[in-house]
Amino acid sequence: MSADTRKPVLVIGLGRFGSAVATTLERMDHEVLGVDLDQAIVDDHKNLLTQVVEADCTELETLQRLGAGEFDSAVVAIGTNIEASVLIVLALTDVGIPNIWAKATTERHGRILERTGAHHVVFPERTMGERVARLVNERLLDFINFGDEFAIAKLKAPEPIVGLPLITSECRKRHGVTVIGAKRSGEDFIHATPDTIIFPGDELVVSGRIDHIEAFSALR
């Protein structure tokens, strides 16, 4: 591996979620070893990933043969087969991988994965469902959450702050959100200052607690 290449990542399970993770990591200049039980899926990824193999990673010996212990990070992208995902996380823990990400389908599944040794548990279906639900709200244009409470969002400027400079509208004090910047039609994004005046149709980038952002976007 060249000195300017990012650390390699092991991705186990190349379904829709695992494939998206693996191919995105490749585009970010990581070397990716992809593993799946389905030879047809393995064949589909041969030209997409650094290396891809057909193997059963529930067995510790298999992971050792694949050199899993040389990886700093592994992603277990198997969700439907709960037993397999738990066994794989357990085997990765035994190998000594310091950074294990695992996909879960339910809260109970997630708790089991954490107790088995997963350092990070993700719920892609739930996360996407929550994201879509928020975007169905026409005033929220984009939304990225960090953990359970904090988020950054792009939204249409709420009517009560239109025509006012931010120092007057006091968004942080009154609504618990920080306006990071504004984008108006035909102009470049500008970073917000206390003197920034919000115009009708402006799109704002804000940060804060999720419940505060949702309430702020709904102001009329």
Look at residue 180 in the predicted model and tell me its pLDDT. 96
Residue 168 pLDDT level (bands cut at 50, 70, 90) = very high
Per-residue confidence (pLDDT) for residue 64, from 0 to 100: 95
Q: Is the pLDDT of residue 38 over 50?
A: yes
pLDDT at 44: 96
Q: Count how many residues are written for the chain.
A: 220
Contact status, residue 182 vs residue 206, Cβ threshold 8 Å: no
Q: What pLDDT was estimated at residue 4?
A: 43
DSSP string, 132-156: HHHHHSTTEEEEEEETTTEEEEEEE
d(CA 15, CA 22): 10
Mean confidence (pLDDT) of the chain = 90
State both tokens at 113.
Answer: 């994965």
Does residue 160 surpass a pLDDT of 80?
yes
pLDDT at 137: 61
Domains of the chain: 6-122 (3.40.50.720), 127-217 (3.30.70.1450)
How large is the average pLDDT for residues 87-110? 94
Percent of the chain at pLDDT exceeding 90: 74
pLDDT tier at 3, thresholds 50, 70, 90: very low
What are the pLDDT digits (tens) for 54-68? Answer: 999 999 999 999 999
pLDDT in tens, 177-200: 999 999 988 899 999 999 999 999
80 vs 215, higher pLDDT? 215
Overall average pLDDT of the 64-76 stretch: 95
Question: What's residue 145's pLDDT?
Answer: 75
Give me the phi and psi of 148, to 5 degrees please: -90, -20
| Confidence category of residue 40, pLDDT binned at 50, 70, 90 | very high
What backbone phi and psi angles, to 5 degrees, belong to 133?
Answer: -60, -40
Q: Which of 87-91, 146-150, 163-167, 196-200 has the lowest mean pLDDT?
A: 146-150
- Mean pLDDT confidence for 156-182: 95
Look up residue 152 and give its two tokens: 């950054």
**Per-residue pLDDT, 133:** 67
Task: Decide if pLDDT at 27 tops 80.
Answer: yes
pLDDT at 126 over 90: no
